[in-house]
Homo-oligomer: A and B are copies of this chain.
Amino acid sequence: MTISKDSPDVSVIEDRRLSCGVRLLVESNPSVKSAAISWWVPTGTMDDPDGDDADGLAVLCAGMLERGAGGLDSREFNDGLDRLGVIRNISVHDTSTRLSASLRNEELPSTLELLADMVLDPLMPEDGLDPVRSLCLQSIQGLVDQPPELASIRLNHLALPAPFNRSAYGSSQALESATIEDVRTAWRTRCLPEGSIIALAGGIDFDVAADILERRLSEWSGGSKEMPESRPRIGGDEHVEQSGSQVHVEMAFDAPPLCSSDELPFLVATRILGGGSSSRLFDHVREQQGLCYDVHAGYLRRRSGSLCTIGAGTTPERVSRTIESIYEEIDRFGSGGITQDEFDNVMVGLKTRLMMHGESMAARAAAIAADFHDRGTPRTLSQVAREIDELSHRAVDDLVRSHFNSKWASGVARVAVGPSTPFQPRS
């Protein structure tokens, strides 16, 4: 099966560098009436000050973007978006702050105007800061009720290089001490056109969108800036002590970087190992032994570094046996390799998901922006399908046998959230 042959209709991503430096990428799909926007501004938690508990401005900036813009106060501005029926979200990441929006395509021009106000001309009212701050602090407090999320945050802290290892929640101390001037200055100096990506997908006319944005963003200026330098990662084990009846464990291992020839084989390998209910880990650790209610492997790919992550949720009584069982499974995986069936099943799963993503405009806009950010160029569905089609069982099997050995399994970092830790001090 080749998806490429089946989908001649959506195969072009139009691309223009606007005069202000923003990169506009558009995938038109005339068969839909919706439109999706994914706008990445090239600033995130990496730009927060160095030092323990010094990060927090990035998330405050994002919160304040929702508090009015373009001369409209918070209520008026959000009413404007509501009147257009725009479903939207702002999220903070290591190297980007992302606005995403879904809407009826006929509202695209007005929506782009409002989002441009939000990015270029946010009101950032002084009386909005305390509520935003309070919500950020409450989100941090709420993490005690989300052990898997908390474990992931701490794992990233240990296993990724600073300053790309920070939590998108910020630190309480920095959140508490920030002033409105800190936030305004941070956004003004960090929000730059160079490196910004605007990806659009759906029932969209490229020229119309390009003209609107060219005009609206023409005055957006500011030099480009260097990415901060990566510092060595911390590594090691951590126990976040927390009462409750469960332990959640997350472990990080080395993984091939973005755009390397091992990337796709490794993705397939991690899916066979721990991606869903037919995976090795799920079948052997959860289904056959009933050791945990959840176990999964993932492949985290960022420009700052890649990780294979394996996580499990279980009870304090079972956690040691769960982890032993995961290591046994990794061992068996590397020594025995993968079957043709396992390979075929994951491949068809990747292709099915790819096809479904092709039918979701929000997923397409996000993927196009991510590709450009991570790979320097967006990929059409056909291109991704071709990459998948060209992968062989042999390539994945070779990678699994060479990669998943006991040296690899000693890992980069591990985190346990719960009343006890299964990790012994390392020798």
Distance between Cα atoms of A83 and B130 in the complex (Å): 53
| A339, closest chain B residue (CB) | B79
CB-defined interface of A142-154 with B at 8 Å, one 1/0 digit per residue?
A: 1011110000000
Q: How far is the CB of A417 from chain B (nearest CB, A)?
A: 10
| A313, closest chain B residue (CB) | B142
> Is A78 in contact with chain B by the CB < 8 A criterion?
yes
Of B286, B288, B348, the residue contacting A84 (CB under 8 A) is: B348
Distance between Cα atoms of A6 and B32 in the complex (Å): 11
Q: How far is the CB of A241 from chain B (nearest CB, A)?
A: 13
Whether A141 lies near B103 (C-beta < 8 A) is no
> Is A344 in contact with chain B by the CB < 8 A criterion?
yes
User: A1 contacts which chain B residues (CB < 8 A)?
Assistant: 104
| A143, closest chain B residue (CB) | B245
Report how many residues on chain A are interfacial, defined by Cβ distance under 8 Å. 64
* CB contact under 8 A between A102 and B352, given known A359-B34, A359-B360: yes
Within 8 A of B (CB), among A249-297: 277-278, 283, 286-290, 292-293
User: A34 contacts which chain B residues (CB < 8 A)?
Assistant: 355-356, 359
> Is A85 in contact with chain B by the CB < 8 A criterion?
yes
User: A287 contacts which chain B residues (CB < 8 A)?
Assistant: 74, 131
User: A349 contacts which chain B residues (CB < 8 A)?
Assistant: 82, 85, 87
Q: How far is the CB of A206 from chain B (nearest CB, A)?
A: 20
Distance between Cα atoms of A138 and B286 in the complex (Å): 11
> Is A353 in contact with chain B by the CB < 8 A criterion?
yes
> Is A244 in contact with chain B by the CB < 8 A criterion?
yes
> Is A179 in contact with chain B by the CB < 8 A criterion?
no
Within 8 A of B (CB), among A15-64: 31-34
Q: How far is the CB of A406 from chain B (nearest CB, A)?
A: 27
User: A74 contacts which chain B residues (CB < 8 A)?
Assistant: 287
Distance between Cα atoms of A270 and B86 in the complex (Å): 19
| A66, closest chain B residue (CB) | B277
> Is A383 in contact with chain B by the CB < 8 A criterion?
no
Of B346, B348, B359, the residue contacting A359 (CB under 8 A) is: B359
Whether A31 lies near B33 (C-beta < 8 A) is no
Taking A85-B352, A359-B360 as known contacts, 18 extra A-B pairs with beta carbons closer than 8 A to each other, sorted by chain A number, are: A31-B31, A34-B356, A66-B277, A74-B287, A79-B345, A82-B345, A82-B346, A87-B352, A102-B352, A102-B356, A131-B287, A131-B289, A134-B290, A144-B244, A145-B145, A145-B146, A243-B243, A360-B360
The 4 residue pairs across chains A and B that have the minimum distance between CB atoms: A85-B352, A134-B290, A82-B345, A138-B293
Q: Would you list 25 pairs from A and B whose C-beta atoms are within 8 A, ordered by A residue?
A: A1-B104, A32-B359, A34-B356, A34-B359, A66-B277, A75-B283, A79-B278, A79-B345, A82-B349, A83-B345, A84-B348, A85-B348, A87-B352, A87-B356, A102-B352, A131-B290, A134-B290, A135-B293, A138-B292, A139-B293, A141-B245, A142-B293, A145-B244, A145-B246, A243-B243
